[in-house]
Amino acid sequence: MSLSSSIKLFTKNVVLLSCTIIVAGCAANSGGSSDAIYDPNEDRNRKVHAFNVSLDKKFVRPVATEYSSILPDVVEDSISNFASNLGQPSILVNSVLQGDLHGASLSATRFLTNSILGVGGLFNTAEKLRLKEHDTDFGETLYKWGADEGEYVELPLLGPATVRSTTGIIVDLFTNPLSYMVNSPERYYGTLASTSAGLSTRGRYTSTIDSILYESADSYAQARIIYLQNRRFKLGDKGTAFSADDPYSDPYEDPYAQ
């Protein structure tokens, strides 16, 4: 990628971040208390949820189950490690934006360790060396900046979210430095790896996800409460009614693995 192209992409990113700050300000005044479920568009969200469940039943679940059964666990783990490692630069950027220099150094160290000693990230060497895992996103950055979570939304394909986390998802697409340094088609390797990792997760936790989507009396309400509980707990939002304890300590933290 040429220097001029990198500058253009960087400029686009700066503009996007500026717009996000404005959106964050709107989200901060979007209504809803911090300790309650704010879902003013429940009817629309339920329709999206029904679409997601239908898609899962007809396509995602069978493909993921077959995918996970065919691939050896070691291969699935390597793909997941690779996808996770490619996301570390974005975690580093968000850590810096949050003023968390310790977290930024952890992300940088894990990325370099796994990239060099872990054969491009296929092996989680950092974990074996007991380097603490660090994870964050732009949704958490907005939380640190004081933006309220806003209304609850269910996104097509992606599932449960809030206005704040949705904004974070969009911005995170542009904040990974690797996207400015790697040319096509290599820049899409991370997307493919993340998709594969998502299928692995869906396949490995079939029983847990099925119990939520297909065995609950109201799968929409169940998915919503699980997402909000886990998201608020992760953010350490001590002002919410859901943050005292983490009732869902299963490694599959929410039904859509956001």
Q: Which residues pair with 161 in a beta bridge?
A: 153
In a domain, 27, yes or no: yes
- Count of domains in the chain? 1
In a domain, 130, yes or no: no
Helix (H) or strand (E) holding 160: strand 159-162
Contact 205, 212 (CB under 8 A): no
Helix, strand, or coil here: 22?
helix
In a domain, 191, yes or no: no
In a domain, 70, yes or no: yes
In a domain, 243, yes or no: no
In a domain, 241, yes or no: no
What is d(CA 223, CA 228) in angstroms, rounded to the nearest whole number? Answer: 9
In a domain, 95, yes or no: no
Containing structural domain, residue 11: 3-81+138-183+202-235
Q: How many CB atoms lie within 10 A of CB 53?
A: 20
In a domain, 196, yes or no: no
Q: Which residues pair with 159 in a beta bridge?
A: 155
pTM of the model: 0.80
Render each residue's pLDDT in the chain as its tens digit; 258 residues.
554 555 455 555 645 664 655 555 554 445 444 568 999 999 999 999 999 999 999 999 999 999 999 999 999 999 999 999 999 999 999 999 999 999 999 999 999 999 999 998 999 999 999 998 889 999 999 999 999 999 999 999 999 999 999 999 988 888 877 777 766 666 677 788 889 999 999 999 999 999 999 999 999 999 999 999 999 999 986 445 454 444 444 444 444 444
What is d(CA 155, CA 153) in angstroms, rounded to the nearest whole number? Answer: 6
